[in-house]
Amino acid sequence: MKQQGLNVWQITMLALGTVIGGSFFLGCGAAIHSAGPSVVLGFLLGGILVYFILTALSEMTVANPGTGSFRAFAGQAFGQGMGFVVGWTYWTGMVFAMSSEAAAVSTLVRNWFPSVSIAWLGSGIIAAVTLLNLLGARKLSNLESFLAAFKLFAITAFIVIAFLLVAGLFPGRAAVGLGALKTEPFLPGGWKGLAGSMLVVMFTYAGFEVIGLAASEAKDPRHTIPKAIRSTVAVLVGLYVVFMILLLPLVPTEQVDETTSPLVLALQKNGLSWAGNAMNIVLITAILSTMLAAMFALGRMMRSLAEDHMAPDWLRDKHDVPYRGIVCSGIAMLAALRFGLFFPKVYLFLISSGGFALLFSYAVIMATHIRFRRKNGCPPDGKCQLWGFPFTSALVLLALIAAIGSMSFVKDQRTGFLAGLAMVILYALCYLALKLLHGRTHPAGS
């Protein structure tokens, strides 16, 4: 066991830094527009799914806190082919998603530096994120803790201001009360609208799996990881739900979409126009924080693949910090950014597959956990954290499969579904081809 490792606070802040990003501050507008006031129910359901997924991951991590996390567990449960496919699908989806975040934050920064192109700004941001990750887990976690704390402060500040506006305690302004909720039905788009919002809701929670990938660098992971998971879920669900409850009276949901931050729109409509510049800084901080934590996960996923001979051997790294995996991921993000800027339609098609990759990974986690528990029972200390097994695990797995399947019926999500499906098939064929070529179970990169 490592004497110096990440503690509960550092892992929790790393997870919150990954999760709370542009997808929440900007993307949740699409969920609000689709579901209306019932979006609160969507965030509660999303939080429940996250709790079960993370608890399942925790049980497996406590039993085997080595590198690889859910990719390694999937390989042990379903064969190395599944480990290969889920590892590369997750890595590819995250690379494209983070290159998209780099383009988004470049657009925001360009408001201050209009003469600099998005290509150069995006490349500089990716390079900076890559270099910062080379400093190591402890130094990165300290920076990530600061950035995550800044985002949490921004959300908390909005909650306080929104409460004052709703309750009529804000100086010089009458009470909003129920406001826009007085005339809005709870399910304006019916259950179909709520179902259509769930993919976006899950995006706002995406990234929590970094806890599992950080297990190999945690201090006493059998105690640290479960505590970090409970803290992460409690903070996320609590903040998200309270945020939505106080946001809804301030702005009609039909005026909210993915092009404007709901937070900024709500404050502007209530006479607080200064929110635009302030939120610009918050958005930049949120996206950079997400990219830093995502690169942490990407580097460790690549090292895990290389150690199991599922990536080129030169990507193996004996150091605590997976330098080669981080640099390789950074180069891949640069290539994706450049390719996307030259061919926007192709880039958007590939970016949308990031959501599919995450949902696919979560479904694999639940399927793996079901097999893990049936084979091994509870973790070594005999404490089963996930209650209701196997029914709860099966229900969560079915919900994730339904969420993936529903993408094909939603126009804006159909390209992501097709791209993600093609990605899974491609990596499955790659594994079969490498297995036949090398004539062994573990395809080597040598």
Of 290, 416, 423, nearest to 356 (Cα)?
416
Complete domains list, the chain, with CATH: 8-436 (1.20.1740.10)
Largest CA distance in the chain: 76
Q: How confident is the model at residue 3 (pLDDT cuts 50, 70, 90)?
A: very low
Helices (H), 64-177: 69-78, 80-109, 118-133, 137-167
Task: Return the exposure string of 340-369: e unless at least 16 CB atoms fall within 10 Å of the residue's CB, then b.
Answer: bbeeeeebebbbbbbbbbbbbbbbbbbbbb
pLDDT single digits (tens) 208-224: 777 776 776 777 777 78
What pLDDT is attached to residue 332?
A: 92
* Whole-number Å distance between alpha carbons of 356 and 65: 26
Whether the bond into 390 is cis, omega within 30 of 0:
yes
pLDDT single digits (tens) 162-182: 888 888 888 877 777 887 778
Residues 6+ apart with CB under 8 A from 13: 141, 144, 145, 148, 149
For 267-295, give the DSSP string: HHHTT-TTHHHHHHHHHHHHHHHHHHHHH
Q: Is pLDDT at 60 greater than 80 in this prediction?
A: yes
Look-up: residue for tokens 């939080």?
Answer: 47
pLDDT single digits (tens) 110-150: 877 888 888 888 899 999 999 888 887 677 777 777 887 88
* Whole-number Å distance between alpha carbons of 98 and 82: 24
pLDDT single digits (tens) 349-398: 656 677 788 889 999 999 999 998 888 777 656 566 777 888 888 999 99
Q: How confident is the model at residue 445 (pLDDT cuts 50, 70, 90)?
A: very low
